[in-house]
Structures are given as structure tokens and as C-alpha cells.
Amino acid sequence: MNAPATKHFRTDKFDFWSFFFSGLTGLATLFILGILAAILVNVIYNGWNGLTWHFVSSIPKKDFFDAKTTGVLPMIIGTAFRVIVMTIFVIPVGVITAVYLTEYASNISIITRIIRAAVNNLAGVPSIVFGLFGLGFFINFVGKNMDNLLHNSSAVWGQPALIWASLTLAVMTLPVVIVATEESLKAIPPGLREASLALGATKLETIWRIVLPQALPGIMTGGILAVSRAAGEVAPILFTGVAYFMASLPGRLSDQFMDLGYHVFVLSTQSPNIEQTRPILYATVLVLLILTFALNIVAVIIRARVRKKLRAQS
């Protein structure tokens, strides 16, 4: 080989297209990160001063636009309440479905494929359609029929209520739990299942004693992701349980409730004086953002912890 040929291997020549292409895609990435940063900085900067203990812990009077007396305690409690009730429904159903899909079903069977397609579709249904479903099914069908049977047709369940909002959200977040659980079930080495079965364990015993303990971090992550998604959603609860204002905290499943996300919407669009409500609006947004992000971080921490524990001992 002669000397000039080797020279081609050196990359000291400026390659315009390479520079242009990496630059453009890099800029796109930077721009997206910029958006994220802009939203976070904007919310924190404007919301920080309003975020006082008084604000977080007080129950507002009728006029919650008044910056001096207002608070968001009922909204925090309402959001937490609806999300907890949702979890009680969605986790068992989601986990059992994932167990069926990975442990029992054969991948080639038609029913499995239909279930998977349904899960995929459920994940893509617009949140407002879930709201309509909650109204049409839970309130107008289930609730009204419950009233006819149990309460002599007086309206107890056949109206917007916390339980209906929670159930609607449970249907909405079902795919999140299923997908996360399925992922963690698939990550368990098949050798463990074989070992248990070869010792004469039944399938159920194997799932209960070996598979599920191993999948716990994945299940928890799925649950927390579902919670964090549901906590920020407003559209599905609009017609199924949220209240513009309530003087008392929700205590029963048939109560309506106030909600952080909905409160953000109300403050930003229904305020009589936009400039005056801006500080409390931003403070409320900050509370909502902290809650949803904190949940995400908690998910990460729990996952790491449970994994460490599992590694060490049963």
C-alpha cells in the first residue's frame, strides 16, 4: 500500500454534512430538553413563594380565589383519596391479567392475542372517552340500578362520586399495571419456575412463592406509574366525581371531591382576576407537580430497595 492511500483514513477533513446532521438532531434534542426545563423553571420560580405551610394545610372558604385565605388541603386529600381507591382495584386485576398472560396463556392462542390487542387499545383510548364511559356506565347504569335496588330510587350512587371517578381511572390505568408487571414477570429466569415445578410445586404455588416475590419491584413500579399518571389526569373525572367546591372533606365513597388538577384548571380559566390569582395558581401547579414527580422518584427508590433486599435474602 502506498502512502497517500493511508491518508484517506485520517479524518482531519471537515465533513459539512456530518456536522450539519448531528447538529440538527442534537438541536432537536436540546430543544425538547429546553421545553422541559422551561416548564419546570417557570413553575418553580413563580410557585415557590406561594408554597407556604398555610397554603398546603388550610381548607378554603367559598371564595378560593382569595390569595390570603385560600389553601389546597381538600384538593390534596381528594386527589390522594381517589388515587388510593383506584389502586385497590387496578393492582389486583392488572397483576392477575399479567400473570395469566405470562404464566398460563400460550402465546399462539387466539384469546391471548385478543387480550393483548385489548390492552393495547385500552392504552390508546382518549381520557375524555373514559370520562364519558364513567358517566354512561358507572353512574347512569351501575349507579342508577344500585339506587333502584338498594335505596328506593333516591339518588345515592347514581350521581358523580369518588368511587366512580376511581373506577374510571382504574380502567384507564389498567394497561400501565399490566405492561409493567408483565415486563417484570418475563425478566424472571425460567429456570426458577422449572426448579420449583420439578420439586412438585403446583403452578399456583410456584407463582405465589417464587414468581410474584421476584416480580414485586416491577409490580410496585407499575402501580406507582399508574398512580402518578392518574394523579395528574383531569378529563376522566370531570363528569364522574370532581366538584368545583365542597365545604367539607370527602369521607364516603359516594361523596364528590375536590381535586388538584381540576383546581388548576379552575384557577387558570374561571378566575375573576387573573393577575391576582396567578401566585396561587402557580403554587397549586407546583404542589401537583411535586406530588406526581415525587411519586416517580419514590418508584425508582422502592425498586432499587426491593431489588437489593431480594438479592440478599428472601
Partner 1 sequence: MAELFMPKLNVPEGKNSEHTALIEFADLSLYYGASKALKNISLTLGEKVVTAFIGPSGCGKSTLLRCLNRMNDLIDNVRIEGACKIGGHDIYAKDVDVIELRKRVGMVFQKSNPFPKSIYENVAYGLRLHGVKNKSELDGIVEKSLRSSALWEEVKDRLHTSALGLSGGQQQRLCIARAIAIKPEIILMDEPASALDPIATARIEDLILDLKKEFTIVIVTHNMQQAARISDQTAFFYIGELVEFGATSKIFTNPSQKRTEDYVSGRFG
Partner 2 sequence: MEPLKKNNAPLGWMGIHRGHQARPVEWLAEKLIFLVSLSAIAMVLLIFLFVAREALPVFFGETNTALVQQIIPTAELDKHSDAEIQRYLELTPEQFKNMDKETLKTLMDVKIEALNDVPENFRNDPDAHVNTTDWKYLLKAHQWNGYDQPEYIWQPVGQIKKFNIIPLFVGTLKVTLIGLGFAVPLAVGAAIYVSQLARPRIRETVKPMIEMLSGIPSVVVGVFALIVMASVLQKIFGYQTRLNAFVAGIALGFAVIPVIFSIAEDALTSVPRAYTQAALALGASRWQTSWQIVLPAALPGVFAAAVLGFGRAIGETMIVLMVCSASVMSWNVFDSARSITTTIAAEMAEAVNGGPHYRILFMLGALLFAATFVSNMIGDFVIHRFKNKLEGKR
136 contacts partner 2 (rule: CB under 8 A): yes
Overall residue count recorded for the chain in this entry: 314
For residues 237 and 259, is the Cβ–Cβ distance under 8 A? yes
Pick the binder of partner 2 from 49, 52, 69, 140 (CB under 8 A).
Answer: 140
Phi, then psi, of 44 in degrees rounded to 5: -65, -45
302: left (phi over 0), alpha (psi -120 to 50) or beta: alpha
213 contacts partner 2 (rule: CB under 8 A): no
Residue 272, binding choice from partner 2, partner 1, none, Cβ under 5 to 8 Å by partner class: none
Q: Tell me how far, at minimum, the Cβ of 207 lies from partner 1, in Å.
A: 13
Which of the residues 44 through 83 are near partner 2 (CB under 8 A)?
none
Which of the residues 250 through 269 are near partner 2 (CB under 8 A)?
261-262, 264-265, 268-269
121 contacts partner 2 (rule: CB under 8 A): yes
Pick the binder of partner 2 from 293, 304, 305, 309 (CB under 8 A).
Answer: 293
**In the numeric block, which cell numbers belong to residue 2?**
502506498
Residue 187, binding choice from partner 1, partner 2, none, Cβ under 5 to 8 Å by partner class: none
Stretch that binds partner 2, among 55-63, 170-178, 181-189, 301-309 (CB under 8 A): 170-178
Q: Tell me how far, at minimum, the Cβ of 87 lies from partner 2, in Å.
A: 16
Identify which of residues 106 and 269 has a Cβ nearer to partner 1 in the complex: 106
234 contacts partner 2 (rule: CB under 8 A): yes
